[in-house]
Amino acid sequence: MKVSAVIVGRNDNYGGTLNERATHCLNTMLDAFDEVVFVDWNTDDGKPPLTDVLDITVHLERLKTIIVRPDEVKRIMGDSCDQGVEFCQVIPRNIGIRRATGTHIVLAALDIIAPKRVFLEEAVRQVGPGQMLVTKRNHVEIDVVREVFRLSKSYEFTRDYMFEHYGVNSINVARMFPSLKVDLNIMRQVPPEGRFNAASIIGGCGDFQIALKSTWEMIRGFEEDQIKKFYMDTEVQYKVIMAGGTVTATNFPPIYHIDHPRYFDDDKSFFNKLELYETRNSDNWGFPNEKFEIKEYES
């Protein structure tokens, strides 16, 4: 069993604290995962990829950065670039999925404190073919994380502190949908207007999504015309369900989301509620034949 994480971002210090949040994230991810694939998407020309400016001290040899430059983004996205989308997440996520080498792939946010390895392994063992496990996130303020790390100078201690002091939140389902496990039989009984809630299962479902690589390949990843971020995580879970799989929500392993201001822009987003779901992605999803620059590191 080899477990890969796929994370996407760009060197723009989003929210004013992205670099700090991403530093905590990547250090804890590299401690837990066999491989971390970071897709640096559309960083402005003249700037280095985000991973080059972070203070990463843990298992650098596990990190692989795929660099997709602005001219490549424009070539890939075509007219979609004219809609002012600086950071489309679905395409770089698919680029990372196609190039990750793990048997299991976790799609994760760039501002979480990852669980320790033993917790991660326990979660991964629960995931079989056609299944996805999504984890409820716990919010922590950046000031708390900053102070704990300042005193300890240890990412391991910071992660353990979060578990000791914040624990595992009780799990609540999205919009009161009454199930933590959704399959095709359940979904077919839900009216179309309720399928978004059913597929989300929990709020913030996209911070830690675990599936076999074969499952990601079966559904062809995230829908690449979903260029705005709203609904993309729900839709990928809906794809698993409508393909005959199962999505299960859990609050373990605990993940801690370092909170930040949010700027919602769901214009042009949508949720595909077709009874018989058909992916809009071609066989070329994730652009497997593109020769993007890949940067590897040494400890």
Task: Summarize pLDDT for 188-230 with one digit per residue, the tens.
Answer: 888 877 888 888 888 778 899 999 999 999 999 999 988 776 7
Pair 133, 240: CB distance under 8 Å: no
- DSSP H helices, 33-168, are 70-77, 90-99, 117-124, 142-152, 155-166
| ω into 253 cis (within 30 of 0) | yes
User: Is residue 280 within a helix (H) or strand (E), and if so which, with residue range?
Assistant: none
Output 264 or 259, whichever has higher pLDDT.
259
Q: What is the mean pLDDT of residues 172-178?
A: 52
For residue 31, count other CB atoms closer than 10 A to its CB.
19
| ω into 115 cis (within 30 of 0) | no
Q: What's the CA gap between 93 and 250, in Å, rounded?
A: 22
pLDDT band, residue 268 (cuts 50/70/90): very low
Pair 134, 202: CB distance under 8 Å: yes
Q: What's the CA gap between 172 and 176, in Å, rounded?
A: 8
Pair 201, 134: CB distance under 8 Å: yes
Residue 176, pLDDT > 50, answer no
Task: Summarize pLDDT for 28-52 with one digit per residue, the tens.
Answer: 999 999 999 999 999 999 999 999 9
CA 58 centroid distance within chain: 20
Could you tell me what percentage of the chain is helix, strand and coil, using 3-state DSSP and rounding each to the nearest 5?
40, 20, 40
Residue 178, pLDDT > 80, answer no
CATH number, domain 3-278, options 2.60.260.20, 3.90.1150.10, 3.40.50.2300, 3.90.550.10: 3.90.550.10
